[in-house]
Chain A
């Protein structure tokens, strides 16, 4: 066997792209999940939640594969730690979707009419943030091709700026939704208030991980 072919390790960038697709397959289900939740369709919520659990598990498998194919003796065009931390953040997006789905099937929580608009807005903002993160992640193969610099890196940098803007909007929407919830706190059961705090928290965390993934990607770029 030729020594030259042994010199080439397995590129982590195509698998990172595949991991992004798996995360996407999982988090894309958050929209139908929240739609069913808003409509109070308990059956549908359970059904979508199951799909989310399965999809999150699929993403985990790809994550483990990437980790095990990156021993310390592999020399990469970007710091190994940056790749692993990016992978972790990208995976956390799917984890948050899973935790959110788990919360929704844990206890039957109905959405009060007064809260519907704010919750919808908040979900929209969170999912916009997530989609912006996926747009950033989908550039990984082209970044590897241009060795993480130049015009392509510049483009990705701009995408990351947009992502950060979305996350900021999601934060604002979270505040608005939480305020609204407390404004009707007298009408709500105490346990419901606790559940709302956790649901909001989980949605916010999803947006945060999306932003963190972008930040980690930024560390890989070389003309920053």
Chain B
């Protein structure tokens, strides 16, 4: 089979995955803002689309690298490139199929788990147990357990701070004006640091830590001033102060939701384009040399796919999700989204492919443990856990089957 045919097929399948991911996952980030009335669905779609693309392009390469060369060393395939191409194609196709089938049966599966399952599946069958970098696999699986807990701790802490300094105070409105800007400042600082510290070389964003810290501190100060400006603009009404605090927190929540969409792009774009990147690298260089960076156009294609998914289907998902979660108010939404976004972004920078949805679940439970949410349905966690256990072997099996079919048909 012609290599360029494989490339085109892989890009199309990757694009299809990206659209699916955009349609389903991004809504989770924005639905709380829609539910609380902070954003209209139209605006939420635009904000989510833009932030997702930015995240994918600016930070997306780290996780994509893990998927294309972290789990299986591609050099093992230097004398049989075609098998490697088939394998990566099988991984992306197999995981896409599995996600579609699981979604049909209403299983809450994660695209992250599926793509990892797909890559490991074809690796096991082509280079065997010894050919897989089990240490990386172990770290990835550990990150799936640690990330929701880590995020949950952040969300718990943030909400506890809001509770202690704002909701428990005698003057909640004045306190919001005082505390709020720190939150916007921290968000701006983290975002800027994640982007510019050893960032994407294509965009010349690879600054050393000292300069990166300095610039990020300035950006953070800017975020502080912006937050302070936004909160000062709020005019007090003749209404219970606690409800007014929620209204004041609306811009904070929009910010954290955008932050979450950005992190989602940074981490999940890899699920769609990670294997494609591996194929592109081989086709372009005509050998299995993985030192070339992930091409910017591919990140853009992935980002565009995510955004397209948000534009076409995301609004429907947002509507249904938004209607069901009216119980989450802006202060709670901010805490959960801040924790989710920070965790996912950190994992993205470490090259860890984590499930944004699972981290979000961990964060919502974190806010719940700080007594912030009226009712959490814990039976959902059982379902998530079983779907996660089944995803690895199932996606792997799909990938292996497709790999076999491809190798029989074309070699």
Contact = CB atoms under 8 A, between A and B. Distances in A.
A150 interface: yes
A197 interface: no
Contact of A4 (B163, B243, B361): B361
Given A145-B167, A145-B242, A146-B242, A8 B376 contact: yes
B317 A2 contact: yes
B242 A6 contact: no
A150 B169 contact: yes
A188 interface: no
A59 B167 CA distance: 32
Contact of B361 (A3, A10, A151): A3
B389 to A, nearest CB: 15
A148 B377 CA distance: 20
B374 A5 contact: no
A7 B361 contact: yes
Interface in B275-319: 317
A150 B167 CA distance: 7
B362 to A, nearest CB: 11
A190 interface: no
A74 B379 CA distance: 8
Contacts of A1: 106, 320
B79 to A, nearest CB: 44
A11 B324 CA distance: 11
Interface string A141-180: 0101111111110000000000000000000000000000
A204 interface: no
A196 interface: no
A149 B167 contact: yes
A73 interface: yes
A77 B373 CA distance: 6
Interface in A69-83: 73-78
A5 B357 contact: no
Contacts of A11: 327, 374-375
Nearest to B242: A145
Interface stretch (B122-130, B207-215, B364-372, B396-404): B364-372
A151 B364 contact: no
A147 B370 contact: yes
A7 B240 CA distance: 29
**Which has the most chain A C-beta neighbours within 10 Å: B31, B172, B327?**
B327
B250 to A, nearest CB: 15
Contacts of B28: 2, 4
Contact of A147 (B243, B364, B372, B379): B372
Q: Is the interface of B mostly helix, strand, loop or mixed?
A: helix
Given A8-B328, A150-B169, A151-B169, A3 B380 contact: yes
B377 A7 contact: yes
Contacts of B373: 8, 77
Contact of A5 (B169, B320, B372): B320
B316 to A, nearest CB: 11
Contact of A12 (B246, B375, B383): B375
A4 B360 contact: yes
Residue with the greatest number of chain B CB neighbours at <10 A, chosen from A2, A10, A144: A2
A2 B205 CA distance: 36
Given A146-B168, A147-B372, A5 B378 contact: no
A2 B26 CA distance: 11
B380 A6 contact: yes
Given A3-B383, A7-B380, A77 B31 contact: no
B151 to A, nearest CB: 13
B27 A2 contact: yes
A39 interface: no
Nearest to A78: B371
A149 B374 contact: no
A129 to B, nearest CB: 26
A40 interface: no
23 contacts: A2-B27, A2-B31, A2-B320, A2-B321, A6-B108, A7-B377, A8-B364, A8-B377, A10-B327, A11-B327, A11-B374, A74-B378, A75-B377, A75-B378, A76-B376, A78-B371, A145-B167, A145-B243, A146-B167, A149-B167, A149-B371, A150-B163, A151-B169
Given A3-B108, A147-B163, A151-B172, 9 more contacts: A2-B28, A3-B380, A4-B360, A7-B377, A11-B375, A76-B376, A77-B373, A142-B240, A151-B168
Q: Which 10 A-B pairs have the closest CB atoms?
A: A150-B168, A11-B374, A9-B375, A77-B371, A5-B324, A3-B108, A147-B371, A75-B376, A9-B377, A73-B379
